[in-house]
Amino acid sequence: MGVYLLLLSIAHMGIVKSNNDRQNAETHLIGRSPSTVGVAIHRKRAWVSLTTLLLVAAILLVYWPVRDFGFVDFDDHGYVTANVHVVTGLTWKNLHWAFTTSFKSNWHPLTWISHMADVQLFGLNPGAHHQTNVILHIVNTVLLLLLLSRMTGAPWKSAFVAALFALHPLHVESVAWISERKDLLSSCFGFLAIYAYIPWARKKSHFAYIVSLMCFALSLMAKPMLVTLPFLLLLFDVWPLERSSLNDSWSREKLRELIGLVVEKIPFFGLSALSSVITVLVQGWGGAIQTPDVYPTTVRVFNAIVAYIWYPIKTLWPRQLAVFYPHPGFGLDGVEIFGALVLLVGVSYLAVRYVRRCPYLFVGWFGYLGMLVPVIGIVQVGGQGMADRYSYVPLIGLFLIVAWGLPELLAGRRYRNVILWGGGIVVLAILSVISARQVEHWRDSKTLFHRALSATQENAVILYSLGSIYFLEGDLEKGEAYLRKALQLKPHFGLAHKNMGAVLAELGHKEAASFYYHQAVRQLRVAVENTPDQPNHRIDLARVLLDMGRAEEAEAHLRHALRYTSTPRDARLMLARSLLIQHRSQEAIDILALQLRHTPEDADSLGLLGEAFVKTNNAAAAVSVFERQLKLGESADARNNLGIALANAGRMKEAIQQLSEAVRLSPDNVVFRNNLEAVRRDMRQAPQ
């Protein structure tokens, strides 16, 4: 703990330095002897190196538990465990998919490649995937420290900003959630783009400009969060790079100077525009963008105004954090909206009014506002009102205001240094403890969702997620209770209706289950009609129809989905099931053979293919397929299926061995026991 407190004090040293250290260290040392300059620079670099090492140690201390965490049932399956393109690792085919897919309603090929690389190196070990996120967060923290130090010449203030960035609880979501790898990668390349921009701004290095532009492109290919980076660079031109003097009165030369700063960034603006167009298109194709009838324009604007204030509030008071905050819709109070608007306008006015005296306030505040624009909800994507992960980079603007503003605010006051040092240490220590506690909430899905429920109360998405988990675990009563609460809050929640029907069917309430299945069909049809080319809704609808035995209807939706989906595996398997139900086994075999050409080691596809061969009385082919399936992993179902296929092929002794093993693996399965007894009886009755 002593070492940790030392880190906090060192990181905070910046706020007790004078505000006159905007230039780099070499500029301040003009006029001194070469030996003095060398010693000072060496001392500065040594302190920065030590600060960096201690920041790394602090991050590792806070995030150490994630090495034992698992994947969560909130996007992790779509991004990693159930994504066939990711789990098969880095192949040319998967790389092509990464650059051409709009899966998860985003175009972020770099993110997909990162997940593929993790699987290639570590398999599906969730601890290793978590540790990759932590390493990226460390890299981002160090890059932030270096680029701020280089721009401002104030290494210790920069270190304090980096420490807040490294240890703030609002950033836990981006680090502890495997699916948010895109946040970390986008920020990493965004920081590199800014770092490379500094030599261009100071020395007109064309090589640095090209590197900066390339890093910006890579950032957008990880997540289109930093599309506002060109505007941020313009702010940095004002402060701390001071390429545009704030003390000059307006003139033709001044206007020409500002136009030149904008013109030089045209390639950056071009990349931002291209990324924005691609993002809107793929999110529209994926049905992620909410239509005006769901969230009217006024509702979106009001929520954006309030969210802009809620992020600073949660920054100052980081409690009741959740993985999902439901959109308030029409539930926002007029006083809350008006108060937030007054604060927004008031702070913005002060930032403009004191731009010459406090340029860090202008840059920090408008940098914060600008970086949140893509995710503030004017274009509403998903059903959240705000999200902790959206604050990963924008909060840096607020941190800048704190690190540079507090020393100026307390200038000339007695015990100034004690207040700043002591306050900094206490604040960072408290934030670190809260972050460590917040990290623990990401241990597994149930812990995460129960925490979210306690923080947000009426949260239909989290209630549905909890109900689904308990259902899959076999706790049907709890599953039913959570799903029923979700439907009370959101009566038109199609997937909740579907899972409620499945729970009630398991409980034996067939009539009630039928009601919920029909409601699911109704709600999912509405979703399909609103987004006719959206394949996911059709696949969900087909799944419900199959559960209801309506295979022909399911087939129609699945064939339509296959024309648009970029991840056809689930649709193909469900289509094969629907064909088997309709006794069209050969067509099912053709579909499964196509899927296995793409994913030859897919156990589920092999299992279905084996069943299809059994139905066509091709026992030899069925045996071969089930043996391939078993090589991929032990399974009682596969043993049972192989035993039946062997019996059909007349290989009774081998069939009994496989069925006996199936019973051993699943001793309570009555079907397996009956199959074993039937084969033994047939063997006894067979002529010797």
Domain CATH number, residue 602: 1.25.40.10
Where a domain ends, among 395, 416, 440? 440
Q: What is the pLDDT of residue 281?
A: 85
C-alpha 451/C-alpha 323 separation (Å) is 9
Q: What is the pLDDT of residue 12?
A: 35
C-alpha 662/C-alpha 520 separation (Å) is 35
C-alpha 129/C-alpha 123 separation (Å) is 9
Q: Does residue 61 lie in a domain region?
A: no
Instruction: Tell me the residue range of the domain where 648 lies.
Output: 583-688
Which residues in 447-486 are b (16+ Cβ under 10 Å) and which e?
A: ebbebbbebbeebbbbbbbbbbbbbeeeebebbbbbbebb
Q: What is the pLDDT of residue 17?
A: 36
Q: Does residue 222 lie in a domain region?
A: yes
Q: Does residue 22 lie in a domain region?
A: no
Q: What is the pLDDT of residue 4?
A: 32
Q: Does residue 259 lie in a domain region?
A: yes
C-alpha 284/C-alpha 289 separation (Å) is 6
Which residues of the chain fall below pLDDT 70? 1-44, 246-250, 285-293, 530-533, 686-688
In sequence order, the 6+-apart residues with CB closer than 8 A to the CB of 114 are: 132, 181, 185, 222
Q: How far is CA 599 from CA 118, 389, 563, in A?
A: 19, 33, 19
Provide the 10 A C-beta neighbour count for residue 126.
22
Where a domain ends, among 440, 474, 498? 440
Q: Does residue 535 lie in a domain region?
A: no
In sequence order, the 6+-apart residues with CB closer than 8 A to the CB of 45 are: none
Q: What is the pLDDT of residue 687?
A: 64
Q: Does residue 647 lie in a domain region?
A: yes
Where a domain ends, among 422, 440, 458? 440
Q: Does residue 564 lie in a domain region?
A: no
Q: Does residue 496 lie in a domain region?
A: no
pLDDT digits (tens, 9 = 90+) for 494-509: 889 989 988 998 888 8
Q: What is the pLDDT of residue 584?
A: 93
Q: Count structural domains, the chain.
A: 2
Q: Of 476, 473, 545, 539, which is closest to residue 505 (Cα–Cα)?
A: 476
Q: Where does 123-180 have alpha helices with state H?
A: 126-152, 155-167, 172-176
What is the crossing angle of helices 2-12 and 34-63, to 10°?
Answer: 130
